[in-house]
Structure 1
């Protein structure tokens, strides 16, 4: 914890009570407006939720399970990250959503508009005028509802920017958890509207450029995010042909190193592949459908690009307290494969980056993949 800064804690204690005890010692009586928690999927969730609820009863706490954590070590694992927002400079309120399979966009828009207006008024009374506002958004990374929720929420938030990530469970793809109201829940999402007298700047960037060859999804199931054919050929076979490695084994490391990209809104975004299936189809982390035009992304110098990104962000908020980051798990896998993970971790440590590895990132109206997205908070 820096003087007068955020309460930022990392613990590698394996037992929930011991981990939360470390958080309690770091808080050391600092009045908090709320807190944010990112935890390894290895924690026993019921015990961890109970310990957190006991630590700060009545204080807004939210978070999620991860596919890896970002701590003072940079890339980390089997850890718990806690970010506490001091009450003298922050105001935090939560709006959860459950039963995402039956999500009602129109009802949600009304809910979010009312919530945002109320939060701004209460924050102004507590902290004064001229505040910065941002919506921190966490959503079940296995829900397949990220696109709809992100677009709905950002439309209702108006000028308040939305930034967040999809929860993970390592790379098991079985069950992730969103934490709010003292419990970890699946098929859920939560908006934490953070207001502050400090400067806050949201950002998002990927570190790939589009390749030269184009391909078209010719058969797909949008509901399951599965492409069956690309260029009228079994999807996995055509993907390997375009990459130029037709005999390569398809796994997470290969997908991370050869991401597919799509052009939307005049910019290229990654549409990461989650898995290759026995029938030759490919399942994606993000929305895809028939007719989508794709190209294979080619890497740029990630460390140099991120340093430039962080420096530009610092220029907008002044001295950075911390960066709360949502970093795609495929970025981490690719960094390890290219043997730059140590350099990335060193940069994250230098710049005060804390957060988690995601199954996808949300920025404004978009659900994206293989980005580093985040919120820089000034001192």
Structure 2
């Protein structure tokens, strides 16, 4: 169990949190509105479960959150003040006192126009300069089925220059049918949402996974890069070769096998996860990140997931204070592994203790790189005058 667990800790100061388990979109939004002081909200982020109809939810916004700037996306689960939860609508009201926001919608996002993304991001940053004494960061939410996150992130990093970028890919539970981002009162597919934030809070970016490389190697010998599809590994059908290296039958391949046995790519001395989404008809493997012919892959082996969660979330500011809250983007495959191992309650306790709020993604964005099976987050700390006693 965590070293400390204080379920009665005071709520976060810089963000108000509301949760609804209602199955009806209108009722869910009414319950959200009743829990938030909208007059204090600079903007609201809605994190939407696959069980709620996005069209009906958007239609109910004007009467439930009138005059409120609302962004968001669909998800594969929420991280609420209780930890991991499914089938709930989570709203985060970022307090006007601490945050200003500007936004851009990129639609269509597939195919990505690198030059256009760079130019629009650069223009937004120029039009939204930081106030003295405040800092800027960017959040990005992308259609998680667009297969464009890698290129989009490279273009955004170039356009935003020294502004750090974090985010998560919108999801659709475990269905992989449709994923949407929320902007301008409507949900958009084949789109990406960029939020440029200015804040008086100190913040720190987080990014960690729990895998280490093994001695089992694979070379992509036949791929369809635009579809993130690998047809052959080491000259053999991809699913069969992956199953051989893992030590299971092809018929036994499943999301939990993929979650516990990811493939890794080495970049500048660090390993990043290239998560497998599913088996493609014909024996190929569909990935959640960029893939190409000739890419060298290494089979990963998991370390103790709760221990790495403890270490990764144990962040403080310069004074040693814990975060006011952590905005978290946690891969759905991590959650699957945690559930499969019966560790959900213990993981949720840790997320609760560290004030993590966010959602489970189809991919994560960390400082210009699209990654998988990773926890990415931003820890926000209270200003000195707002310290808890």
**TM class, shorter-length:** over 0.9
Give the CA deviation at 1:5. Answer: 3.2
Please state whether the residue corresponding to 1:110 is helix, strand or coil.
helix
Residue 82 of structure 2 is matched in structure 1 by 73
1:162 to 2:165 alignment: yes
User: 1:193, CA displacement in angstroms?
Assistant: 0.9
SS in 2 for 1:320: coil
Matched, 1:220 2:223: yes
User: Alignment partner of 1:312: what SS?
Assistant: coil
User: Structure 1: how far apart are the matches of 2:224 and 2:13?
Assistant: 51
Distance 1:162 1:43 in 2: 28
Q: What is the alpha-carbon distance in structure 1 between the residues aligned to residue 108 and residue 320 of structure 2?
A: 37
**CA distance in structure 1 between the partners assigned to 2:38 and 2:216 by the alignment:** 58
Q: Among 16, 26, 47, which residue is 1:38 paired with? A: 47
Match of 1:168, SS?
Answer: coil
2:207 aligned with 1:204, yes or no? yes
**1:248: how far off?**
5.4
- For residues 262 and 375 of structure 1, the distance between their equivalents in structure 2, rounded to whole angstroms, comes to 24
Give the alignment partner of residue 307 of structure 2, picking from 304, 312, 325. Answer: 304
User: Do structure 1's residue 277 and structure 2's residue 286 form an aligned pair?
Assistant: no
Cα contact 2:315–2:322 (8 A) shared by 1: no
After TM superposition, the structure 1 = structure 2 runs for residues 130-279 of structure 1, keeping only pairs within 5 Å, are 130-246=133-249, 249-279=252-282
Structure 1: 5+ residue stretches without partners? none
Q: 2-side partners of 1:196 and 1:70: how far apart?
A: 23
Residues matched between the structures, number: 373
Distance across 1 between alignment mates of 2:138 and 2:320: 17
C-alpha contact 2:239 2:250 (8 A) present in aligned 1 = no
The corresponding residue for 1:324 is 327
| TM-score, normalisation: structure 1 | 0.94
* Structure-1 residue corresponding to 2:378: 375
TM-score, normalized by length of structure 2? 0.92
Q: 1:225-244: CA deviations, max 9, x gaps?
A: 11111110111111111112
- State the alpha-carbon separation in 1 of the partners of residues 361 and 316 from structure 2: 21
Residue number in structure 2 paired with 1:104: 113
Supply the distance in 2 between the matched residues of 1:154 and 1:297 (Cα, whole angstroms): 28
Once the 2 structures are TM-superposed, how far is the Cα of residue 316 of structure 1 from its aligned partner?
7.9
Q: Does 1:13 align with 2:22?
A: yes
How many Å separate the matches in 2 of 1:135 and 1:353? 18
Q: SS where residue 174 of structure 1 aligns?
A: coil
Asked if residue 64 in structure 1 is aligned to residue 73 in structure 2, the reply is yes
Three-state SS of the structure 2 residue aligned to 1:75 is: strand
Give the drift of 1:29.
Answer: 4.7
Moved more, 244-253 or 288-297: 244-253
Offset of residue 341 of structure 1: 2.0
User: Which range moved further: 136-145 or 23-32?
Assistant: 23-32
Secondary structure (helix, strand or coil) at the match of 2:129 reads: helix
55-64 or 160-169: which moved more? Answer: 55-64
Change (3 A) 1:313 1:168: farther
Specify every segment of 5 or more residues in structure 2 that has no aligned partner in the other structure, as ranges: 1-9, 383-389
Q: Alpha-carbon deviation of 1:371?
A: 0.2
